[in-house]
Amino acid sequence: MAIQIVTKVAMFGPLAAYGRLTTDQAKELSDDDVIKVLARESRKRAESAEIYTQNGRGELAANEHAEARIIDEYLPTPLTEAELADVADTAIAQVAEEIGERPSMKQMGMVMKAATAIAAGKADGARLSAAVKERL
């Protein structure tokens, strides 16, 4: 019974965010939009749990972690480090083909745009950025 309650509570935030977006955009959201909503809600729960832990509120932190795990079940499996490296290498190769030379840190924005499109919501920006920086 307690697990069902946590599951229901965990899904209130994403469902409300989904409802706001569909109302604001007056259209059906794509799968990518839904993944972004779920990732944002999961990240919010993780940040809240961290704050609760810092303030000595372990029981609230545990609830936030439980809700984040439930939301994470609906997200695509995150990329491994090797897969992230492949995404970064592919993005660098695409940008190199576009500009005619190997990109440098000056073209990091172009590489990140390509890498983000390739990763398609399976990696957060910080991990992706670190992988790209490592290879540039």
On the question of pLDDT at 88 being above 90, the answer is yes
On the question of pLDDT at 79 being above 80, the answer is yes
Section 40-54 average pLDDT? 92
pTM score: 0.64
What is the distance between the alpha carbons of residues 61 and 81, in angstroms, rounded to a whole number?
28
61-74: per-residue pLDDT in tens? 998 998 888 888 88
Indicate the residue type of 26.
A
Residue 1: per-residue pLDDT: 38
On the question of pLDDT at 33 being above 50, the answer is yes
Give the start-to-end residue ranges of the domains of the chain. Answer: 2-72, 81-135
Is residue 28 within 8 Å of 9, Cβ to Cβ?
no
